[in-house]
Structure 1
C-alpha cells in the first residue's frame, strides 16, 4: 500500500509525503478502532436485550424482566445467577450463557458489516491509484539529466 501511495510522488517531496502518509495511516488506525468499538458497543446493547428476551419464554412472568435487565445491563454477564426461586428453571445459568452467546454473535456479525464497507472503500481507492499513470520522478525528467557533450574529444595518434 505504501508503494502504491508513494509511486507518483516527486523525489524532492518523498520525505514529506512519507511522513504525511504515515501520520494519516496512524490516525486512521486510531479512528477506525474507535469506530469499531463504538459500533460493537451499540450493537451489543441492542442484541443482548433481544437475545435475553428470546430465551426467557420458559421463565415465570415475574422473573423475566430481572433476567433481561441483568443480561442486557452495562455489566451484563452470563455469570452470577446463583440460588433461584423454585418456580424458576434450574438451568438459569445455561439460559444466561445462551442469551450472552447469541447476543454477542449477533452484535459481532452486524459490526463486521462496517469493517467490510471500510475494506471495500480501501480496495477501490487502491485500484483507483493503481490505474493512474505514474508521474515521472525528478531524476527521470530530461532536464534533470546532465547534458550530453556534443564536442568530440581530440584523437591521439
Structure 2
C-alpha cells in the first residue's frame, strides 16, 4: 500500500489494533517473549501515546514466523533477525524492480508514440532512393541532329 488510506477507519494487515496480551495469545507466545523480541528489534509494534504496544496482523504473523524459526529450525535470535532483515530487503528490491519495469514500459510506449509520429510526418510525394544495379553495359547518348535553317540576308 502507498501509505495513504482512503478511509481512516479501514483496517488493513498493517493496522495496529492488538494489545500485547491479545497478540501473545494469537501468536502462542508469552507477553514477556513479545517484549524481548521488541527490545531485540525482531518485531517492533507501533506505540500508543502512552507508550503501550499495539500489534498488527502482520506483526502477529511475524511473531509466528520467529517462533517457527526458533523452535522448529533451531535458529538463534540473531540469525532470525538477519533473516527478517534480508527478507525485508528482498521485498523492497522487488518493489523497486516493479517500479522500474513500470517506468521502462512507460518510456518504451512513449518512444513508440514518438516514432509513430515521426513516421506519420514523412512526405508521401518523395520517392525513396533505391540502389541501381551496376552493369557493364555502356549507353551512349547522342543529341539529335539539328536541321540547319537557311540564313536570311538583310
- Could you tell me the TM-score, scaled by structure 1's length? 0.34
User: Which entry has the higher C-alpha Rg, 1 or 2?
Assistant: 2
Bigger relative CO (Cα 8 Å, ≥ 6 apart):
1
- Could you tell me the TM-score, scaled by structure 2's length? 0.34
The answer to which structure has the higher helix fraction is 1
